[in-house]
């Protein structure tokens, strides 16, 4: 009975009811249906009515879930063009060779995954035969994000196509053998095949969204028409647990990226068990994607289920499918017909009657084999619906069986992800199931053979003809021959050589000023892609808003609140800045798409992504590895860098370690410039190396990481020192000596070499004066622009020595003959400068900001960490005292004098 005091739904609606009598009639009709035909019938009618309203464009809240059935009814499925029987044979060969490759490799203990591709084979084959456009078609072709664990199946198809040979398959996961194949999609390891790295899991879906978005960016800016390109991302249902997998769903819907399709292989299993044991992952994902604004296509059941659905006149079957949790669906896959009759059909009288009409074979066919993701017709219908849908991205939820066709020992078993091989008997059973012409005698000494119908076989001809019609092989990575970008005008870089005079300028601002000049360049200016995660004003970039515009596919549909100001907030359809909001991960995905455009689209772009240094490598270092794997190029800029320069923000904002993390990445060239002219020199060199004329043997597929600071300080003029540009690029040069600094130390004064990077060089310069004026010590100051590049060079010199070549590390060359010990200091943990200690011939010591950050003034923080000028003086005197060059009492006196 209805509570008369309860708030009724109509009371929550702000719109007045213009016809209460009509409303009452609709409600009475619903009550009558529920009473006469039951609540299930009433719910059915309501769902169909809401679907009709949605299709008619009537503004109503969308249904977040639909029934646990296929979105496209069998009667509405289009015919599959081509030869389905031929595609069945091709898929059988691919299944066999994928399993054979991993099994043969298991004797080396290198592992591999069999079950994932076995479940997804038709999801790929249907795309390769009918949808995925190659690089030889008009435009850029499609972009394919292949599920990492399915790579053996992609290799198997490339083998059938003649792009790989048996030796390469035998060297799966054995790359040092010389002709090997990487475990997963790794462009850096196999750059002619793979475009996009998709392991670690979660990064593929995130990157796919921003790739589709960047395609639109190129079109809207007039760089290249990418309207013919479609982005396909193949994912696992377990992978969707990763927060990155769903982090940008709203962006894709908001910007109407109908050039994007997710294909989620819903085999209901993670690596070690069910994805949603007590729930239904398909329904959960449907609600999540629908709620975000995506078009959802469910492809769950194969044609064997058609008979069951036709018998379901009461809706009992559909209700039962919604009730059964995923883990029980998995159990049905492994049990006999009697168990399924009892557990699935036995609890409902209508289902029990239905079961009487079904043979055991029919029940086993439905529950063991027949899934929508295993049938070309079902998959083709879903793909066709996806590419034809306009106004929103599409996700296809395709249900499959993990380990399908691999035998009872694999299918739906919790451990199948870790099962790396089949026995000979299991292979023979698989052969018989797939109908492959492989003889028992082909198994020599128990080794499973690879199978190939022949280079001129009907299967191979069909495969190649289909790919030719779609624009060539896929997946494929092509680097189009593009001319090196011309160097920008020298004036943009030399304008910093004279220094800032009496004006204090932070290196962050110096970088932004440099970019403002570079984006005006007539030749290369339009190719810059500024990326910022909602911190543009923090970094002083608001001046770029009116001139470059912030990219928005909608343009600017409102009048900005600051329109009357000079630096107003301007969005534009052809805007150049990607202002991503508070998402470092999304900004990195942007950067990856832009940095690899030279290969994906044959259009060289120059991205720079500026961010709080603490929230770059610390939060998204996995994506930096993805960037390196994908051979990306561009500038990462860690702003407000250092542990003591960002006052008052506290522990989580105090970066004392990003150069350490960056140094672990072989593709990252990490710099910590102290002065504006150094920033300019590094960017100039980066443009030459990544986008200009590369030197012989020089790897262009690198990216630069620059740390810049928000502390306004005097910017000196560029010293007239021989080899200064080489020193800036290689990582070290002498900024001044005690004498050139205008300090006159006593004759025969003890001498020390002070090495500083970034903002720390200013403390070293103050310490230089204190040492001379108060302690009679001469100090030379060096700018260490890159500790990690010095280390990289030294490691290469060591390797050359092991080959019998004589090569002196640059750091040793630079410091050769420098008198006294070396004391290094930075605004980072001591591990940063200590990278080069073993190659410095002089006595070595270092200072750094080790430990957690804290909130205080810059001066107090530097005193706390022992890196301020006075602390440098004490450390320098301690070094000299050890050598007997100053009195031991000087150290104690200095500590007392400076209050340390």
Structure tokens at 362: 């029919």
Q: Is residue 8's pLDDT more than 60?
A: no
- Structure confidence by residue, pLDDT tens digits, 634-644: 999 999 999 99
Q: Is residue 735's pLDDT more than 80?
A: yes
DSSP string, 706-727: EE-----EE-PPPP--TTHHHH
Bigger pLDDT: 22 vs 293: 293
Q: Is residue 537's pLDDT more than 70?
A: yes
The pLDDT, as a whole number, for residue 6 is: 47
**What is the Cα–Cα distance from 200 to 400, expressed in whole angstroms?**
23
Q: Is residue 583's pLDDT more than 80?
A: yes
Bigger pLDDT: 806 vs 534: 806
Instruction: Let me know: does 390 contact 258? Beta carbons within 8 Å.
Output: yes
Q: Is residue 20's pLDDT more than 90?
A: no
The pLDDT, as a whole number, for residue 9 is: 45
The pLDDT, as a whole number, for residue 15 is: 67
Listed as own residue / partner, the contacts of 791-799 with beta carbons closer than 8 Å and 24 or more positions apart are 791/663, 791/835, 791/836, 791/839, 793/730, 793/731, 794/836, 794/838, 794/839
Side by side, the strands of the sheet bearing 260-266 are 143-145, 231-236, 260-266, 394-399, 295-299
The pLDDT, as a whole number, for residue 631 is: 98
Q: Is residue 313's pLDDT more than 80?
A: yes
Of 219-233, 320-334, 387-401, 403-417, the one with minimum mean pLDDT is 403-417
Candidates 759, 736, 826; CA nearest to 788 is 826
Cα-based torsion angle of the residue sequence 37, 41, 42, 45 in order, rounded to the nearest 10 degrees: -130
Q: In this prediction, what percent of the chain has a pLDDT beyond 70?
A: 97
Q: Count Cα atoms within 13 angstroms, Cβ side, for 238.
A: 19
Structure tokens at 193: 């095949």
* Span 171-182, average pLDDT: 90
**What is the Cα–Cα distance from 143 to 260, expressed in whole angstroms?**
9
Cα 509 from chain centroid? 29
Instruction: Let me know: does 845 contact 859? Beta carbons within 8 Å.
Output: no
The pLDDT, as a whole number, for residue 456 is: 96
Structure tokens at 616: 């770059």
Q: At 409, is the pLDDT very low, low, confident or very high (cuts 50, 70, 90)?
A: low
Bigger pLDDT: 375 vs 46: 375
- Structure confidence by residue, pLDDT tens digits, 230-280: 999 999 999 999 999 999 999 999 999 999 999 999 999 887 789 999 999
- Structure confidence by residue, pLDDT tens digits, 656-706: 999 999 999 999 999 999 999 999 999 999 999 999 988 888 999 999 999
Q: Is residue 7's pLDDT more than 60?
A: no
* Span 473-481, average pLDDT: 92
Give the 3-state secondary structure of 385-410. HHHHCCCCCEEEEEECCCCCCCCCCC
Helix, strand, coil percentages (3-state) for the chain, rounded to 5, are 45, 10, 45
**What is the Cα–Cα distance from 663 to 625, expressed in whole angstroms?**
12
The pLDDT, as a whole number, for residue 272 is: 79
Residue identified by tokens 């962006």 is 251
Give the 3-state secondary structure of 411-475. CCCCCHHHCCCCCHHHHHHHHHHHCCCCCHHHCECCECCCCCCCCCCHHHHHHHHHHHHHCCCCC
Helix then strand count (H, E) for the chain reads 34, 20
The pLDDT, as a whole number, for residue 12 is: 44
Of 103-117, 125-139, 359-373, the one with minimum mean pLDDT is 103-117
SS3 282: helix
**What is the Cα–Cα distance from 490 to 497, expressed in whole angstroms?**
11
Q: Is residue 14's pLDDT more than 80?
A: no
Q: Is residue 420's pLDDT more than 80?
A: no
Instruction: Let me know: does 825 contact 802? Beta carbons within 8 Å.
Output: no
Q: In this prediction, what percent of the chain has a pLDDT beyond 90?
A: 81
**What is the Cα–Cα distance from 532 to 260, expressed in whole angstroms?**
24
The pLDDT, as a whole number, for residue 1 is: 39
For residue 503, how many other CB atoms are within 10 A of its CB?
Answer: 9
Name, in order, each residue with C-beta under 8 angstroms of 754's C-beta and a sequence gap of 6 or more: 764, 767, 768, 779, 780, 781, 782, 823, 824, 825, 872, 876
Q: Is residue 4's pLDDT more than 50?
A: no
Structure tokens at 19: 């016809």
* Average pLDDT of the chain to the nearest whole number: 93
DSSP string, 658-671: HHHHHHT-TTEEEE
The pLDDT, as a whole number, for residue 413 is: 57
Bigger pLDDT: 108 vs 475: 475
**What is the Cα–Cα distance from 893 to 489, expressed in whole angstroms?**
53
Instruction: Let me know: does 714 contact 504? Beta carbons within 8 Å.
Output: yes
Q: What backbone torsions phi and psi does residue 120 show, to the nearest 5 degrees?
A: -105, 5
Q: Is residue 632's pLDDT more than 50?
A: yes
Bigger pLDDT: 47 vs 675: 675
The pLDDT, as a whole number, for residue 11 is: 44
Structure tokens at 570: 């301007």
Q: Is residue 480's pLDDT more than 50?
A: yes
Structure tokens at 729: 């690029």
Total residue count of the chain as it appears in this document: 900
Cα 617 from chain centroid? 13
For residue 885, count CB atoms less than 10 angstroms from its CB and return exposed for 0-12, middle for 13-18, buried for 19 or more: middle
For residue 178, how many other CB atoms are within 10 A of its CB?
Answer: 8
Residue identified by tokens 């009496």 is 502
Q: Residue 471: left if φ>0, alpha if ψ -120 to 50, beta else—which one?
A: left
Cα 782 from chain centroid? 38
DSSP string, 735-792: EE-TTTTT--PPTT--EEEEEE-TTHHHHHHHHHHHHHHHH--EEEEEE-S-HHHHHH
For residue 551, how many other CB atoms are within 10 A of its CB?
Answer: 26
**What is the Cα–Cα distance from 704 to 759, expressed in whole angstroms?**
19
**β pairing state of 394-399 and 260-266:** parallel
- Structure confidence by residue, pLDDT tens digits, 155-164: 999 999 999 9
For residue 574, how many other CB atoms are within 10 A of its CB?
Answer: 16
For residue 559, count CB atoms less than 10 angstroms from its CB and return exposed for 0-12, middle for 13-18, buried for 19 or more: exposed
**β pairing state of 703-707 and 751-756:** unpaired
**β pairing state of 606-612 and 231-236:** unpaired
- Structure confidence by residue, pLDDT tens digits, 813-840: 999 999 999 999 999 999 999 999 999 9
Q: At 417, is the pLDDT very low, low, confident or very high (cuts 50, 70, 90)?
A: low
């Amino acid at each position: 009975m209805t509570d008369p005091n309860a708030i009724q739904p109509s009371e929550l609606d702000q719109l007045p009811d213009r016809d209460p009598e009509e409303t009452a009639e609709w409600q009475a009709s619903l009550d009558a249906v529920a009473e006469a035909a039951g609540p299930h019938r009433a719910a059915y009618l309501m769902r169909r009515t809401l679907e009709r309203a949605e299709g008619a464009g009537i503004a109503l809240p969308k249904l977040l879930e639909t029934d646990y059935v296929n979105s496209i009814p069998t009667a509405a499925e289009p015919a599959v063009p081509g030869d389905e029987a031929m595609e069945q044979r091709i898929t059988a060969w691919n299944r066999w060779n994928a399993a054979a490759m991993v099994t043969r490799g298991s004797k080396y203990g290198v592992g591999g995954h069999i079950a994932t591709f076995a479940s997804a084979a038709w999801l790929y084959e249907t795309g390769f035969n009918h949808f995925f456009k190659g690089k030889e078609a008009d435009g850029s072709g499609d972009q394919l994000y292949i599920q990492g664990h399915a790579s053996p199946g992609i290799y198997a198809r490339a083998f059938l196509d003649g792009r790989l040979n048996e030796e390469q398959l035998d060297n799966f996961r054995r790359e040092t053998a010389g002709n090997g194949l990487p475990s997963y999609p790794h462009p850096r390891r196999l750059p002619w095949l793979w475009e996009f790295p998709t392991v670690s899991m979660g990064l593929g879906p995130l990157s796919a969204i921003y790739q589709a978005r960047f395609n639109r960016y190129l079109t809207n800016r007039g760089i290249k028409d990418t309207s013919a390109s479609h982005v396909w991302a193949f994912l696992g249902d377990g992978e969707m647990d990763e927060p990155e997998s769903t982090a940008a769903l709203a962006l894709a819907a908001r910007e109407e990226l109908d050039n994007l399709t997710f294909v989620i292989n819903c085999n209901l299993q993670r690596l070690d068990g069910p994805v949603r044991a007590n729930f239904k992952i398909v329904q959960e994902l449907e609600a999540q994607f629908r709620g975000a604004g995506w078009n959802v296509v469910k492809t769950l059941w194969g044609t064997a289920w058609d008979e069951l659905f036709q018998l379901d006149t009461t809706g009992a079957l559909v209700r039962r499918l919604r009730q059964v949790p995923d883990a029980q669906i998995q159990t049905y896959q492994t049990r006999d017909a009697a168990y399924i009759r009892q557990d699935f059909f036995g609890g409902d009288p209508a289902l029990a009657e239905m079961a009487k009409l079904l043979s055991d074979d029919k029940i086993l066919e439905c529950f063991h084999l027949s899934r929508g993701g295993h049938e070309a017709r079902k998959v083709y219908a879903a793909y066709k619906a996806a590419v034809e849908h306009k106004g929103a991205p599409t996700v296809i939820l395709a249900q499959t069986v993990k380990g399908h066709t691999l035998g009872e020992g694999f299918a739906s078993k919790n451990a199948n992800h870790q099962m790396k091989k089949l026995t000979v008997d299991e292979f023979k059973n698989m052969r018989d199931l797939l109908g492959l012409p492989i003889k028992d005698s082909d198994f020599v000494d128990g080794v499973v053979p690879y199978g190939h119908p022949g280079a001129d076989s009907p299967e191979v001809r069909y495969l190649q003809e289909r790919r030719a019609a779609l624009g060539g092989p896929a997946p494929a990575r092509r680097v189009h021959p593009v001319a090196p970008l011309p160097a920008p005008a020298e004036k943009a870089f030399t304008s910093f050589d004279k220094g800032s005079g009496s004006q204090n300028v932070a290196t962050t601002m110096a970088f932004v000023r440099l970019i403002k000049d570079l984006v005006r360049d007539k030749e290369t200016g339009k190719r810059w892609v500024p990326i910022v995660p909602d911190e543009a004003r923090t970094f002083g970039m608001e001046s770029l808003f009116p001139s470059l515009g912030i990219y928005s596919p909608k343009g600017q549909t409102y009048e900005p609140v600051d329109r009357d100001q000079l630096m107003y907030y301007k969005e534009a359809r052809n805007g150049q800045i990607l202002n991503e909001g508070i998402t470092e991960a999304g900004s990195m995905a942007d950067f990856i798409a832009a940095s690899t455009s030279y290969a994906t689209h044959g259009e060289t772009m120059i991205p720079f992504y500026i961010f709080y240094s603490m929230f770059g490598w610390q939060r998204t270092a996995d994506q930096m590895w993805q960037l390196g794997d994908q051979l990306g190029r561009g500038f990462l800029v860690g702003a407000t860098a250092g542990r003591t320069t960002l006052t008052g923000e506290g522990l989580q904002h105090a970066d004392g370690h990003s150069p350490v993390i960056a140094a672990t990445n072989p593709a990252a060239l990490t710099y910590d410039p102290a002065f504006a002219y150094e920033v300019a020199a590094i960017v100039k060199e980066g443009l030459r190396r990544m986008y200009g004329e590369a030197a012989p043997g020089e790897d262009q597929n690198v990216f630069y990481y620059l740390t810049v600071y928000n502390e306004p300080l005097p910017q000196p003029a560029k010293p007239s020192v021989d080899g200064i540009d080489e020193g800036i690029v290689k990582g070290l040069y002498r900024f001044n000596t005690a004498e050139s600094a205008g300090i006159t130390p006593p004759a025969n004064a003890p001498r020390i070499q002070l090495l500083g990077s970034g903002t720390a060089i200013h403390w070293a310069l103050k310490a230089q004066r204190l040492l001379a004026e108060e302690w009679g010590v001469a100090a030379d100051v060096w700018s260490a622009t890159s500790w990690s590049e010095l280390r990289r060079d030294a490691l290469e010199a060591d390797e050359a020595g092991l080959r019998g070549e004589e090569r002196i590390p640059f750091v040793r060359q630079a410091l050769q003959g420098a008198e006294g010990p070396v004391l290094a200091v930075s605004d980072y943990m001591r591990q940063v400068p200590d990278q080069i200690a073993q190659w410095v011939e002089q006595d070595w010591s270092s200072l750094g900001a080790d430990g957690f950050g804290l909130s205080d003034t810059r001066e107090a923080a530097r005193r706390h960490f022992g890196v301020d000028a006075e602390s440098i003086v004490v450390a320098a005197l301690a070094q000299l005292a050890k050598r007997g060059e100053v009195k031991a009492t000087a150290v104690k006196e200095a500590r007392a004098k400076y209050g340390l």
